[in-house]
Amino acid sequence: MRTSNIKTNYYILIAFLLSSIMVYVQYNYGYSWPYKSMHAYGTDDAFITYRYAFNLFSGNGLYFNINGDNVEGYSNFLYSLLLLPGFFFGKDNIYLYSVILNFSLLIGIQLLFYKILSHKFTKNHSILAIYLVAASPIIWAHVTTGLGSILSLFAFVFFWDCIISSNTKYYLLKLIIASSLAILSRVDGFLLPLIGCFYLFCKFDKEDKNNKKNIIILFGYVVLFMAGYTLFRYFYYEDIISNTFYAKVSGNLTQRFLSGIVYLLNNLVYNQGMFFYVFSIIFCLVMKILELFKYKKTNISFPLIFVVLWILYLLFIGGDFYHERFLLPILLIGIYYFIKIISLNFSHKEQIIAILFILILNFSLMFSDGRFSYQKKGYDAWINLGIFLHENYTNKVLAIDAAGKVPYYSELYTIDMLGLNNKYIGKMEFKRPKFVAGHNKYNPDYIFANSPDLIAAWIQPNLDLSWGIYKNKYTKSYKLKYLINSSRFDFVNNIYDVEFLSDDAIKKLVANYFDYAVLVKK
């Protein structure tokens, strides 16, 4: 038995080593978004959270702008707090720190996932599951975004482990701790313990005296916790809901539903790294439904209940703009059911074939997704622009559509043109004909009325800027000053001063990767 445990631990350590190697490669050579240099060192939204955390670390409160609007433009409170120790190593090292933090959480996820599977499957199959996690390019990509997605995944796996361990000591206490972690990890984290309450209700056992008590106490705790959290929001940010909700969840239900369908199709069905796992979930869900119709009863499964309700939620909010981050729990659940299918129905030889097939699908993602077009990183355009503005424009006001890296490095007072960190724009009525999650609200008249010193946004071939910053409007008070190279190629001059160039010369630059612009007030 001792020898067996040592062997198991040895294989688990190798899985951790595999994870570390692939995360290292993704960190050094991969991107958080296809094709654009702006996502070389993490995604832009991560730096929104970094800015909040840095201001808190500096003694200026958990705010986006110092002495600015008290707006909650982040969606990951706990992650913001966990970032604080990273600033002791310097402001410029926070991205590396966040990747190390995310990787540490990934190790915890793999351990908890192994524990969950070991309740149902053999040691070999449980070990295989964490190797499939380690071999997933989707996981590497999200560890290196700098976002709090891995923390949310950890909270999910921890809650999953707690809720299915009903025979363990301190069951209810563990559920309460897991619920707290989930709520603090994401704005919508309260949904996880509520889904847990629904699961306990569905598997309600009249003979179990603790069952009813657990449901009532857990539900009551979630309500009280959210009430306290809401009071904090009200007094700290003068609002009862995070501004990210106002900015992202807009439009009518039909618009959001159709957008959610497209999001799910792109990231579950058309995604080679997810497709077969999703198929495994659907297969097991159909089997459960058939069992229910045939025998009028079935064993209630927490992961299946979660998948169904979580997908309904994603359809309600209209999906997401950023890849698979909201679908990472479904990835793990898919691996769980894949293991279940092959362990119960396949011979040893068939299991090997199935594993090889799914690994081929996984790694084929590296040839179709620009995030994995590995190359030596040249530079990050938004980081470069932020540093440039910090060095050349002090005590100015910046309006920008990408409110992460440039504001973080420039340290300028910033108007977020897409409303995540601006209450006025965030609470505007949605007027766009097409719903695009997180990119629905903007108001050029509001921007011009506030007369920022600098305006930065994507520029079109006709020299209009995105978000209604049209040339015939901005030329009245602003001049087109800089074009920024957005490609992955590192030119000698990546920030081009175009103030004295003709429109034709500027248009040629825009057509050749210089398609991000900065306007300067006349």
Residue 465: which pLDDT band, with cuts at 50, 70 and 90? Answer: very high
How do strand 397-400 and strand 454-458 relate by DSSP bridges?
parallel
Q: How many CB atoms lie within 10 A of CB 149?
A: 28
CA–CA distance, 256 with 32 (Å, rounded to integer)? 25
Selection from 362, 356, 305 nearest residue 330 by Cα: 305
User: pLDDT at residue 328 above 60?
Assistant: yes
Checking if the pLDDT of 248 tops 90, the result is: no
Q: What is the dihedral sign for C-alpha 7, 12, 14, 15?
A: positive
Q: Is residue 438 a contact partner of residue 88, using CB atoms and an 8 Å limit?
A: no
| 262-290 pLDDT per residue, tens | 999 999 989 999 999 999 999 999 988 88
Q: How far apart are alpha carbons 366 and 138 in whole angstroms?
A: 10
Of 62-76, 175-189, 210-224, 360-374, give the range with the top mean pLDDT.
Answer: 175-189
pLDDT of 229 reads 95
Is the pLDDT confidence value at 206 over 60? Answer: no
CB-CB contact of 322 with 148 (8 Å):
no
Q: What is the pLDDT of residue 290?
A: 86
Do the Cβ atoms of 60 and 143 come closer than 8 Å? no
Cβ-based neighbour number of residue 459 at 10 Å: 26
Hey, what are 320's tokens? 């997401």
Pairing of strands 413-416, 478-484: unpaired
Q: For 390-413, write each residue's pLDDT tens digit.
A: 999 999 999 999 999 999 999 999
CB 242 within 8 A of CB 71: no
- The string of pLDDT tens digits covering residues 127-138 is 999 999 999 999
Q: What is the mean pLDDT of residues 292-316?
A: 88
Q: Is 440 exposed, middle or buried (0-12, 13-18, 19+ CB in 10 A)?
A: buried
Rg from Cα positions in the chain: 24
Per-residue confidence band for 209, with pLDDT thresholds at 50, 70 and 90: low
Mean pLDDT: which of 244-258, 417-431, 488-502 is highest? 488-502
pTM: 0.95
E strands, 333-490, are 397-400, 413-416, 454-458, 478-484
For residue 211, pLDDT over 70 is answered with yes
Pairing state between β 478-484 and 516-521: antiparallel
| Distance of alpha carbon 95 from alpha carbon 83, whole angstroms | 10
400 beta partners:
416, 456
Lowest-confidence segment of 5-14, 101-110, 202-211, 462-471 by average pLDDT:
202-211
| Helix spans in 119-189 (H) | 123-134, 137-143, 149-164, 171-185
Q: What is the pLDDT of residues 165-193, one digit of tens each?
A: 877 788 999 999 999 999 999 999 999 99
The reported pLDDT for the residue numbered 433 is: 64
What pLDDT does 239 receive? 93
What was the pLDDT predicted at 145?
Answer: 96
CA distance 411 to 68: 13
The residue assigned the tokens 């000698």 is 492
Distance CA 139, CA 131 (A): 12
The Cα 412–Cα 95 span in angstroms is 20
Computed over every residue of the chain, the mean pLDDT equals: 92
> What's residue 436's pLDDT?
75
Q: Quick one: average pLDDT of 236-240?
A: 93
Helix (H, G, I), strand (E, B) or coil at 497: strand
Instruction: Give the model confidence (pLDDT) of 17-47 as tens digits.
Output: 999 999 999 999 999 998 889 999 999 999 9
Sign, CA torsion 81/86/91/92: negative
Banded model confidence at residue 208, pLDDT cuts 50, 70, 90: low
Q: Which two tokens stand for residue 401?
A: 């559509």
> What percentage of the chain carries pLDDT values higher than 90?
78
Give pLDDT tens digits for 65-120: 998 789 999 999 999 999 999 999 999 999 999 999 999 999 999 999 999 999 89
Of 88, 103, 68, nearest to 403 (Cα)? 68
Band of pLDDT at residue 292, cut at 50, 70 and 90? confident
Bridge partners of 483, per DSSP, are 496, 517
Q: Are 133 and 139 in contact (CB under 8 A)?
A: yes
pLDDT tens column, 435-461:
777 778 899 999 999 999 999 999 999
Torsion of CA 404, 407, 408, 409, to 10 degrees: 120
| Sign of the alpha-carbon dihedral angle for 119, 121, 127, 131 | negative
What integer pLDDT is reported at residue 378 of this predicted model?
82
Burial class (CB in 10 A: 0-12, 13-18, 19+), 108: middle
Residue of 149 and 204 predicted with greater confidence: 149
Q: Which pLDDT belongs to residue 207? A: 53
DSSP assignment letter at 495:
E
* CB contact set of 204 (below 8 Å; sequence gap of 6+): 211, 212, 215
Task: Determine contact, residues 419/402, Cβ cutoff 8 Å.
Answer: no
Long-range contacts of residues 465-474, Cβ cutoff 8 Å, at least 24 apart: 465/517, 465/519, 466/401, 467/401, 467/417, 467/418, 467/442, 468/442, 468/443, 468/444, 469/444, 469/519, 470/444, 473/444, 473/448, 474/448, 474/519
